[in-house]
Amino acid sequence: MRQVTATVISNAEVMPQVHLLWLEAPGMAAAARPGQFVMARCGTGHDPLLRRPLSVHRVDGGQRLALLVGVAGRGTGWLSYRRKGDVVDLLGPLGNGFSIRTAARSLLLVAGGIGVAPLVFLAEEALRSGRAVSLVVGARSASGLYPRSLLPSGASVVEVTEDGSEGLRGMAVDHIDGCVGRAEQVFACGPATMYRSMAGKECLTGEPVQISLETMMGCGLGACYGCATRTRTGMRMVCHDGPVFELDDVIW
């Protein structure tokens, strides 16, 4: 873990109120693994006081790192206005990250909304290691889908929208039954409602499923207990013990 002053290389709004920021962050980009996150300072002073947790979205050549910033308030709003040459104070990479089993050659990735952020990085790493990747991406409507042109080529992609304006109609989880049988490991990132649906799905019973929990964080370092979550082995800190957990371990 390190603290770096990262320089913005580019900023593009890729979905409404969602910005793709590429930053020059050499040591951090080289160290990051899929599923890890950074804590970003969202201002130049102490307001807002707390950093915001953001998944590492992609890395490029060990020098550059991308974040997918969904504007949800003042802090992420400030980040979304950063332009080329601006600097952002980042702490990371933090957390445990996803873990692909050596024997797993075929992976299913399920993304709900902006939960696609860490799964793109995971898909790229898995494809690079010769694995097959199926990616089910869900959003409320077509405009909320992560641009297909930015998804890793080589992944088999299924798009799902709640209103049916693009791809299949419904929730991402409604359309994984056919893919689960072909996958040797399942990964997901999205809202808690998506995980609750997954926990109740018969086709996932007994399957190894890793999920990345999204939650508010204070310190990101295991010190403030602001991100405590209930698991079958007791209270765990999402920032320090996660953010990746086994689906079955979390008490919903």
Interacting residues toward ligand FES by CB under 6 A: 217-220, 222-227, 237, 239-240
Other CB atoms within a 10 A radius of the CB of residue 13 amount to 12
Sign, Cα dihedral of 90, 146, 96, 222: positive
The minimum distance between CB 213 and ligand FES, in angstroms, equals 11
Choose between 131 and 240: whose C-beta lies nearer to ligand FES.
Answer: 240
User: Considering beta carbons, is residue 31 or 224 the nearer one to ligand FES?
Assistant: 224
Pairing type for strands 156-161 and 168-169 reads: parallel
Name the minimum Å distance from CB 39 to ligand FES.
Answer: 9
Q: What is the CA radius of gyration of the chain?
A: 17
CB of 43 to ligand FES, least distance (A): 18
Cα–Cα distance, 153 to 237 (Å, whole number): 35
Q: Which is nearer to ligand FES, 77 or 218 (CB)?
A: 218
- Considering the complex, what minimum distance in angstroms separates the CB of residue 29 from ligand FES? 23
Q: Nearest approach, Cβ of 189 to ligand FES (angstroms)?
A: 18
* Cβ nearer to ligand FES, comparing 175 with 236: 236
Nearer to ligand FES, 43 or 222 (CB): 222
Sign of the dihedral defined by the CA atoms of residues 121, 125, 127, 132, in that order: negative
- Longest CA–CA span in the chain (Å) reads 51
Residue 40's SS3 state is: strand
Which of 222, 208, 214, 204 minimizes the C-alpha distance to 103? 208
Residues across the chain = 252
Of 4 and 227, CB closest to ligand FES: 227
Q: Kindly compute the dihedral angle of the four CA atoms of residues 141, 146, 147, 149, in this order, to the nearest 10 degrees.
A: -140
Q: How far is the CB of 218 from ligand FES (least distance, A)?
A: 4
